[in-house]
Amino acid sequence: METTPNTTKKETYIKCKKCGTEVFTITNGNLTPCKCGAISVDGSRDLVRVLGKPEDYEEIQK
Ligand SMILES: [Zn+2]
């Protein structure tokens, strides 16, 4: 099992499976839709809300 240095900070994105848009989860109160509008993301460091069908998006870290 690989260990990841603590200095590497990963950011979470929500990727729309329909249009491929990766929306950054921290939107500071702004509901941010993807390009095709299938999903919308609204989040902070503590809580991320995604509006849309669960099968239409996936959470990715990078
Ligand atoms: Zn989309």
- CA of residue 5 relative to chain centroid, distance: 22
- CA of residue 13 relative to chain centroid, distance: 3
Closest to 32 measured CA to CA, from 60, 10, 55, 44: 44
What stretches of the chain adopt beta strand conformation (E)?
12-16, 22-24, 32-33, 40-43, 48-51, 57-61
- CA 9 – ligand 1 centroid, Å: 26
- CA 2 – ligand 1 centroid, Å: 33
pTM equals 0.81
Taking only the tens place, the pLDDT of each residue in 8-54 is: 788 999 999 999 999 999 998 899 999 999 999 999 888 899 999 99
**Structure tokens given for 59:** 């959470």
Neighbours of ion ligand 1 (CB under 5 A): 16, 18-19, 34, 36, 38
- CA 21 – ligand 1 centroid, Å: 6
> Sheet holding 40-43: strands in order across?
32-33, 40-43, 48-51
